[in-house]
Amino acid sequence: MQNHRWLRTPHGTPRRISYGADYNPEQWPREVWDEDIRLMKQAGVDVVSVAIFSWAALQPAEDRWDFAWLDEVIDLLHANGIGVDLATATASPPPWLTTAHPEVLPQTADGATVWPGGRQHWRPTSPVFRRHALALVEKLAERYADHPGIVAWHVSNELGCHNAYDYSDDAARAFRAWLQARYGTIDRLNHAWGTAFWSQRYGSFDEIRPPRRSYAFPNPTQQLDFARFSSDALKDHLIAEREILNRITPDIPVTTNFMIMGETRHADYADWAHEIDFVSNDHYVTEGRDELAFSAALTSGVARHRPWFLMEHSTSAVNWQPINRPKRTNELVRDSLTHVAHGADAVCYFQWRQSAAGAEKYHSSMVPHGGEDTRVYREVERLGGLLRRLDPVAGSDRDRSPVAILFDWDSWWASELDSHPTDRLRYRREALDWWTALLNAGVRADVLPTDADLSGYRLVIAPVLYAVPQGLRARLEDYVRGGGHLVATYFSGIVDEDDRVWLGGYPGAFRELLGIRVEEFRPLWDGETIGLSIGVRGDLWSEPVDLVADDVEVLAAYTDDDLAGGPAVTWRPVGAGAAAYVSTRLGADGLGAVLPTLLERAGVASELPEPLRGTVELAVRRAGDRRIRFLINRTDDAVRLDGIEGEYLVGGPDLPPRGVAVVG
């Protein structure tokens, strides 16, 4: 990251855990604004994001601008002590722009045009869109450069949420330039892509197109490079806006909201994080509270454990799932404080006031359709009071855990390409299973990009680390020989950064380190499982594992079919450390039978009393020498925090269902 800068605050104002939402006053009559201010102050709101989807309101026509309403809103908020995270408003082009310039509209892999009517209908590589968008950014920056109410710049919104993959001619030209910069020569590209196969050899970069619809599997490295390019194209747009903001308003920090959540994988956020002053993230619950905690920990890893901004989440139900249920008692508070536990110094929602019209009118907000006399708004007020008690946490880093889980976007993209041993593999699912298994064991973990510093971690888990360049291979070997304990899983170490197989047998890059060799993969059929000698069953994947080093210990063997008696989980001492291998998918519950041995040998023990392990998540932030512990009830039952000593900043020793206590 550049220099970690946080929201601007008035001189002498102490830093706090900020609280707020997206605010869309243009959706409401002027008389509602004063009511909004009253309710914001009542709830403890101190920051709102403004103008995110306001391009059409700010520029009603190409030659006409209207800033009067925004001037009034910003002045009103500032006069009442509420900071403005001002968006650049470039997230969706106005109708006049797409009517005059339909060439800015994206195209699908089939060549179909994506028409206006929703949002984000623009090509990341369109020079026409870029010109108009940057003109808007410059106007905003010049107008509000000296306004003391602006606490941060918010570039666009959820970049690539809908338009990450564009297959237009603009994208084709930009893709060719990106490939030429990456490979230098067409011969180098032909080698990396393996174009000797299927008569795909290119004579020049001009012959290359995006991986549009084809009769058979598109070239896999072309697909991987297009994923990388698409992430970089969006990042380039982010940088273009940032450069204008930095030039005109160098004292105002710049951020953009990531989407580290669920299966959203279009952007390499670990790479993007270097381009902004502080990391912001949007998160919506899709798979339960363990996924929420995992995503928060990954956001912290991407932010290098510095404080980050929770830009969006929901107070209750969303509108975009097939069935949208409201949150249960304590979930609004628990979800928010879980993000704070993992490093968030700002807690914000989409949105402040629930819309009366439009596609998101059934999405919950801080002020529901029913107004302030509602369960949700009362919970919003309660959370505002709790956050004030946590102001001593503001500015502190997330405390380093004893265990790290590696997360790699290249492996995510590449491991789930077509024409693989199985199309059922889900990269993020395996990482999440290890996270949940560690929570069940009462052990804290960090989730880190692969370029993170691993020194000090006793155990590093690399789930489905499919793509392993030579440099990463060497770093992990050095980590083990220096005393670290590494766990690799099935389908790890298989290819290099060009998606070319590490030859000599699987798991390729890790074969010698692990002291094993696999000749063939043996994926499992849907519904098929395979037994292990430790009393659990694997699914999805299995392998005939051969031991090629004398010092490899078998921790679990297969018990079924033609793999019966063969190694399933292995462990090998290497230098001052050790390397283990898990050759099947065990799920969170099955990993519970493997983890105790791996943790014990790595010297990792739970910091929680025995009765709390599995029911309570522990997350820690560190302010100087002070450790602030967050104890989060993962269950729907009440829990007594016996054995936890210290001053309770939030909650008490009796945790209600889905409750949170914070101990300083």
What's the Cα-to-Cα distance from 479 to each of 8, 424, 570, rounded to whole Å? Answer: 40, 31, 18
> Exposed, middle or buried: residue 146 (CB in 10 Å: 0-12, 13-18, 19+)?
exposed
Which alpha helices (H) appear in 342-426, and where do they start and end? 375-389, 409-415
Contact between 599 and 605 (Cβ < 8 Å): yes
The helix/strand/coil state of 160 is coil
Residue 545: phi and psi, rounded to 5, are: -95, 125
- Within 8 A by CB and 6+ apart from 351, the residues are 21, 22, 23, 24, 360, 363, 365, 366
Q: Label the pairing between strands 529-531 and 553-557.
A: unpaired
What's the Cα-to-Cα distance from 589 to each of 234, 438, 538, rounded to whole Å? Answer: 38, 10, 10
What is the residue whose two structure tokens read 């992990």? 476
545-548: long-range contacts, CB 8 A cutoff, minimum separation 24? 545/516, 545/517, 545/518, 545/570, 545/581, 545/583, 546/516, 546/517, 546/518, 546/519, 547/515, 547/516, 548/511, 548/515, 548/516, 548/517
The candidate with the shortest Cα–Cα distance to 308, out of 336, 272, 283, 279, is 279
Distance CA 204, CA 210 (A): 15
Q: Is 158 a catalytic residue?
A: yes
> Exposed, middle or buried: residue 656 (CB in 10 Å: 0-12, 13-18, 19+)?
middle
Distance CA 291, CA 235 (A): 26
Residues in a beta bridge with 571:
553, 580
Residue 86: phi and psi, rounded to 5, are: -85, 120
- Within 8 A by CB and 6+ apart from 156, the residues are 87, 88, 90, 91, 237, 238, 241, 256
Active-site residue, from 26, 138, 142, 158: 158
In which element (H, E) is residue 314 found?
Answer: none
Residues in a beta bridge with 166:
none
- Within 8 A by CB and 6+ apart from 327, the residues are 314, 315, 316, 317, 335
Amino acid at 471: G
Contact between 634 and 290 (Cβ < 8 Å): yes
Amino acid at 280: S
Q: Is 497 a catalytic residue?
A: no
Give the tokens for residue 663: 């101990």
Residue 629: phi and psi, rounded to 5, are: -100, 130
Q: Label the pairing between strands 83-87 and 529-531.
A: unpaired
Question: For the CA atoms of the chain, what is the radius of gyration?
Answer: 26
Distance CA 141, CA 136 (A): 9
To 5 degrees, how large is the angle CA 93–CA 97–CA 98?
Answer: 80
Contact between 604 and 402 (Cβ < 8 Å): yes
Distance CA 440, CA 11 (A): 45
Residues in a beta bridge with 580:
487, 571
Determine if the peptide bond prior to 507 is cis (ω within 30°). yes
Active-site residue, from 241, 291, 312, 617: 312
Give the catalytic positions in this structure. 158, 312
